[in-house]
Structure 1
Amino acid sequence: MNRTMITATNTLGQLQKQIDVISNNIANVDITGFKRREATFTDLLVQQFDNLPGGDPDTAAARLTPEGIRQGTGAKLGQIQMIMTQGTFKSTERPLDTAFTKEGLFYRIQVQRGDVYETQYTRDGAFYLSPLSENEMTLVTSSGHPILDENNEPVVIAGKAKDYTITETGTLKVNMEDGSQQNVNLGVSLVNNPQFLEQKGGNRLGLPAGVEADGVLTDLNGELRSQISIRSGTLELSNVDLSKEMTDLMTAQRSYQFQARSINMADQMMGLINGIR
């Protein structure tokens, strides 16, 4: 197989991954709190041919590129980066709907995988109440995963609630029918390095196996809760720009067609060479 085919086939596989990223963004355009991802490319191994030996030292010193011919072997995805820009807001006037008004803030939720409970993160602020017993309810996501408080325990409301309020700093205030009030600080984390997080499905993010939370996330407890900014009765829409994603998809498809055409042309050239008698 000649170098043209090698370069094209290497790039084809990476372009397919970029198309998958764009397709995932488009599929989640209407998902609350979803953050789009963007794929960036870098060169694979580059081979240099020094075909200009003994060049003028003065001329070589003024060059901005290495002397000779550099031949690459294709492109690869350098990074699939999560874009943390703020999405637009949608007013619902529902007291248990919330939206972060700052970038990098995530709710902590509890996800059960078999017998193991795992802490994951989401920007989806559409909360619901799920009954635990006759006089107890727990705060959950739309998928039924419990919301954690600042101590990483599921939020449980004991007694019969009358109404609810979620403050700007993430405190759930529940007015009970007997006139009392229960206050619970919701678990909120600030993501310092979002590129360490991986998608867990269901609009949830989590840490990969073997990666510690220190340096990646900061739990906003105690005095740090002043950094929290929440708007109640509102949901944050995804930050996916459908027109941009469609443009990127068309560009990636054209690049894919170009690489496929390169393989076809290389095959035709090899056929002509093999046909010479």
Structure 2
Amino acid sequence: MNRTMFTATNTLSQLQKQMDLISNNLANIDTAGYKRREASFTDLLVQEFRNQPNDALEPANRLTPFQIRQGNGARLGQIQLNLTQGNLKTTDRPLDTAFTAEGQFYRTMVENEDGSADMVLTRNGALYLTPLSDTETMLVNSDGHAILDDNNQAITIAGNVKSFTINQTGLLTAERYDGTSQQVNLGVAIVNKPQFLEQKGANLLGLPENLAALGVTEGEVITDLTGPLRNQIAIQQGVLEQSNVDMSKEMTDLINVQRSFQFHSKTITLADQMLGLVNGIR
């Protein structure tokens, strides 16, 4: 009975994590560029108990394993990032953009409390301008983090801008009222191995700190689309990519997880009742 309770308890904690994952997907259903995460389960270590001192005693015609194998529950084996394309929503705003190819992300710089900065990735193409001085502004995302160019430098726009144009390969052209213009390439990277990316808060993704211990390099996980590779970039101006979360699927998964959670909770209750009956035997 104790083993039954341990097995159910181990699985309950993992089911709770899956419910949190589904809840996070549902909470970001209206977040532009959000990519849903999916959980997959694996079995915990299975133990084998030999109930015969000699394997030679095993009947020749037995169809099932001779030993008794008992599991210890299940755990989350992997949380996968689903990079499928989301639907496009037309906004006609010049600084609203959306990738029309899977796996492409803007490079963004996030400043930490200690003054350091980390490079992260975002699929949210809602861009804005924040003033640096009376004559200079910086291109940022909806959270105020700087958008980087193809040299991984923050993009600053000088002068009084009249209009913005962003072409398919991510070339931003700022037309000023005096007739001059400024051009800059938006920093874009493509993700080769999304399983190595971590959530860095909000709608941001980044590399884990133990990347070297995982046996991969940054170049194997993400590739900067610079030089001739910029022809692979696919950006559309005046639209935003919606999240790829399917509410009906998420709700179905949530109901299934809740039923599994109730089943394992009932298992603990029944095991406790059986233990009470055994202890009550005189």
1:272 alignment partner, one of 243, 252, 277: 277
- 2:210 aligned partner: 210
Secondary structure at the aligned position of 1:215 is classed as helix
Query: Is the counterpart of residue 140 in structure 1 residue 145 in structure 2?
Result: no
CA deviation after TM superposition for structure 1 residue 207, in Å:
1.2
Counterpart of 1:244, as a letter, is: K
CA deviation after TM superposition for structure 1 residue 174, in Å:
1.0
Partners of 1:9 and 1:117 in 2: CA distance:
40
Partners of 2:162 and 2:126 in 1: CA distance:
19
Alignment of 1:31-180 (within 5 A): 31-50=31-50, 53-54=55-56, 55=58, 67-114=66-113, 115-180=115-180
1:186-212 deviation line (CA, Å, top 9, x unaligned): 000001111111111121111111325
1:231 alignment partner, one of 236, 241, 244: 236
Secondary structure at the aligned position of 2:98 is classed as strand
1:223-255 deviation line (CA, Å, top 9, x unaligned): 000110011101000000011111101100100
When the two structures are aligned, how many residues end up with a matched partner? 273
TM-score by length of 2: 0.93
Partners of 2:163 and 2:192 in 1: CA distance:
35
Percent identity among equivalent residues?
60
Counterpart of 1:221, as a letter, is: T
1:40-77 deviation line (CA, Å, top 9, x unaligned): 100000012355733477x68xx7x8553321010000
Partners of 1:51 and 1:226 in 2: CA distance:
66
Partners of 2:117 and 2:10 in 1: CA distance:
40
1:111-152 deviation line (CA, Å, top 9, x unaligned): 110210111110000001111111111111111111000001
Secondary structure at the aligned position of 1:260 is classed as helix
- 2:224 aligned partner: 219
Give the gaps of 5 or more residues in structure 1: none
Partners of 2:260 and 2:20 in 1: CA distance:
14
Partners of 2:68 and 2:234 in 1: CA distance:
55
1:139-196 deviation line (CA, Å, top 9, x unaligned): 1111111100000111111111111011100110111212122110000000111111
Partners of 2:143 and 2:178 in 1: CA distance:
31
Superposition RMSD in Å: 1.6
Partners of 2:93 and 2:2 in 1: CA distance:
63
Residues 1:188 and 1:66: Cα distance change in structure 2 (over 3 Å): farther
Partners of 1:228 and 1:177 in 2: CA distance:
29
CA deviation after TM superposition for structure 1 residue 100, in Å:
0.4
CA deviation after TM superposition for structure 1 residue 3, in Å:
0.9
Query: Is the counterpart of residue 254 in structure 1 residue 259 in structure 2?
Result: yes
